[in-house]
Amino acid sequence: MTTPSLLTQRRGNARGITVSDGIFSAARRTPDRLAIRESGRGLTYARLAERIRRVASLVHAGLGLRHGERVAVLLPNRLEYMEIVCGAALAGAASATIGPAASEAEIRFICEDAGARVLFVDPSLEAKARAAIPPGVAHVVTIDARYEDLLARAADTPCPVPVTEEDIFSIPYTSGATGRPKGVMLSHRGRVLSAYAIGADHGCYGPDDRAITLTPLFHGAGFLMTLTPLHFGGFVELLPRFDIERMMETIQAIRATNTYMVPTHFAALFAMGDAARRYDVASLKAVVSGTAPLAQATKERIIDFFGPGRLYERYGCTETSIVTALRPADQLRKTQCVGQPLPATQICILGPDGAELPRGEIGELACTSPYMFSGYLNLPEATARAMRGDWFVTGDLARMDEEGFLYLVDRKNDMIITGGENVYPREVEEVLLGHPAVRECAVVGLPHGYWGEAVTAFVALRPGVEAEAGTLVAACRATLSPFKVPKEIRFVAALPRNSLGKVLRRQLRDEGGESRAPRPGP
């Protein structure tokens, strides 16, 4: 391996920090330390840094992309993901990341919307990709022996393209739950500062820490949870897909100090019953949860299983990165809470007129920080609607208590109006999830001739457990105001979710039809 001269390490006229800088620093400090491993394949920091440089040379000199042009990445979690995204970014080309389960129509849309000129694709997805790609994609690079040959022929030298910290390095796409998917432009600076913020808050991403990544890398959260340990010189075990037994075995085998999980992962863990107790999890400093809210009953089970002092629950979105974190000491003290803002983050609650509301009142959450996105790709009007000056308006309804802790009430668009009363689904779901028979649930408003919208609960029961709808309704009546009690309970085998575990409420509403709830009697 030829190591570039120390004096040529900077990338042309680059200014500020890039997503690769932490990796390059670790490669100089501890070149032979293992950085990342997937399915038995691993890269040291020196080798990872070299491959990032070669990808940058391939993109710029080999494939002819210029600063500001874009690539698309259609890969499952695999070892090459980080080098491709980081390397393309050092050539000034942002990566539009596509989920491996995307349909042909979705692949075509993202490639067209991003104006991608190159597509990096897994061999298992190549046929689908070639059937979908628009004419603008000039090169398809399959991650197999041909890719390794291209890298071997690419130069192991700094790319001459001037890249700044304000340049866009990645463009993940929103799920489209509230309309067409939107490309979220993320800058080098915003993502690296996010890593520093959670590193300072969580205390589990140092050079001696060992992380497990099992969430999809094409999402902003999955990528950040892999970048952060690497930025600080730690180790990442990348799992190709979620498998609860493999995850628990890996925690024990590598003596993991942190792992990132979403609510469905915890549900799978607890479905193992007593068998889950056979794994040694004592090495964990932090069990981090995000993407979707944890029910309070689930938090209590997590703390009982992993022990106190480990659970961090985070709130954020692709546009904002992480906004708040509820730290271990507050998990049981602050119920149904998502914590306080991360360093350099500010939040406020807005009323219908856009004015800030007093503590305790429910309104729309807005936030500002150095970590936020740089706008929606090709959608300046949507960007303008989402911003109030430097503040991003999230669309989430929330309140703050007197200590500055944030409580999510619900998504603004998910609020149910039934008989003229406002119902926040999450409040009803918390009650249902507290019932021992309920494994998961989602509450939506379905059209109803009398009520306008009827509060309707879709419920999946725990394996081997039975419960009548009347029993669950009675549990809600014991806690909730009458208008909040579900008018109808529909039992399902499982809730529809996306790849990060978020419930697809729009699908429930679309497929649920009109509620069968009765009109009130005379």
Is the same domain home to 330 and 447?
no
> How far apart (Å, rounded) are the C-alpha atoms in residues 38 and 43?
9
382 and 270 within one domain: yes
Indicate whether 398 and 422 sit together in one domain: no
Please report whether residue 481 resides in a domain.
Answer: yes
pLDDT at 7 over 80: no
Residues 180 and 123 in one domain: yes
In a domain, 521, yes or no: no
Residue 262 tokens, joined: 């979403």
pLDDT in tens, 341-365: 999 999 999 999 999 999 999 999 9
Residues near 219 by beta carbon (within 8 Å), at least 6 away in sequence: 97, 99, 172, 318, 499, 500
Residues 35 and 80 in one domain: yes
Same domain? For 107 and 248 the reply is no
Are 273 and 354 in a shared domain?
yes
Q: Based on the domain organization, do 300 and 168 belong to the same domain?
A: no
pLDDT score recorded for residue 283: 97
> d(Cα 461, Cα 301) in Å, to the nearest integer?
17
pLDDT at 95: 98
**DSSP states of 402-430 as a string?**
TT--EEEEEEGGG-EEETTEEE-HHHHHH
Q: Which of 411, 428, 444 is the last residue of a domain?
A: 411
Q: Which of 166, 187, 208 is the last residue of a domain?
A: 187
10 pLDDT higher than 50: no
Q: What is the pLDDT of residues 428-443, one digit of tens each?
A: 998 999 999 999 999 9
Residue 87 has pLDDT above 70, yes or no: yes
The H-or-E segment that residue 460 falls in is strand 452-461
In a domain, 194, yes or no: no
What average pLDDT score do residues 113-139 get?
97
Q: How far apart are the C-alpha atoms of 222 and 214, rounded to whole Å?
A: 8
Contacts of 54 (CB under 8 A, 6+ apart): 87, 151, 152, 154, 155, 156
Asked if residue 388 has pLDDT above 80, the reply is: yes
* pLDDT tens string 191-234: 999 999 999 999 999 999 999 999 899 988 899 999 999 999 99
Whether residue 176 has pLDDT greater than 70: no
Alpha helices, DSSP H only, in 447-489? Answer: 469-477
The reported pTM is 0.84
Same domain flag for 419 and 396 = no
Residue 208 domain-assigned (yes or no): no
Pair (272, 378) in one structural domain:
yes
pLDDT over 70 percentage in the chain: 95
- The answer as to whether 232 is a domain residue is no
Q: Does the pLDDT of residue 398 top 70, yes or no?
A: yes
Q: Which of 381, 411, 441 is the last residue of a domain?
A: 411
Per-residue pLDDT, averaged over 85-108, amounts to 94
Question: Cα 290–296–297 angle (5° rounding)?
Answer: 115
What pLDDT was estimated at residue 6?
Answer: 44
Residue 521 has a pLDDT of 58
**Burial annotation 117-154 (CB, 10 A radius, 16+ → b, else e):** bbbbbbeebbebbeebbeeebeeebbbeeebeebbeeb
Is residue 63 a part of any domain in this protein?
yes
| Residues 12 and 30 placed together within one structural domain of the fold | yes
CA 13 to chain centre: 32
Domain count, the chain: 3
**pLDDT over threshold 80, residue 501:** no
Residue 503 binned pLDDT confidence (cut-offs 50, 70, 90): confident
* More confident position, 8 or 428: 428
Residue with the bigger pLDDT between 319 and 510: it is: 319
**CATH code for the domain in which residue 445 is found:** 3.30.300.30
Write down the mean pLDDT value for the chain: 92
Express each pLDDT in 130-163 by its tens digit. Answer: 999 999 999 999 999 999 999 999 999 999 999 9
Check whether 282 has a pLDDT greater than 90: yes
pLDDT at residue 84 is higher than 50: yes
57 and 124 share one domain = yes
In a domain, residue 81? The reply is yes
Closest CA to 495 of 511, 480, 484: 511
- Burial letters 236-271, b for 16+ CB under 10 A, else e: bbbbeebebeebbebbeebebbbbbbbbbbbbbbbe
pLDDT at residue 12 greater than cutoff 90: no
Provide the Cα torsion 240, 338, 345, 182; round to 10°.
50
Question: Does residue 89 have a pLDDT over 80?
Answer: yes
* CA angle, residues 108, 111, 115, in degrees to nearest 5: 140
Q: What average pLDDT does this structure show over 45-66?
A: 98
What was the pLDDT predicted at 11?
A: 46
CATH code: domain of residue 33: 3.40.50.12780
pLDDT at res. 522:
52
pLDDT of 119 > 80? The answer is yes
Cβ pair 426, 484 in contact under 8 A = no
User: Residue 55's domain spans which residues?
Assistant: 6-187
Whole-number Å distance between alpha carbons of 156 and 83: 13
For residue 220, tell me if it sits in a domain. Answer: no
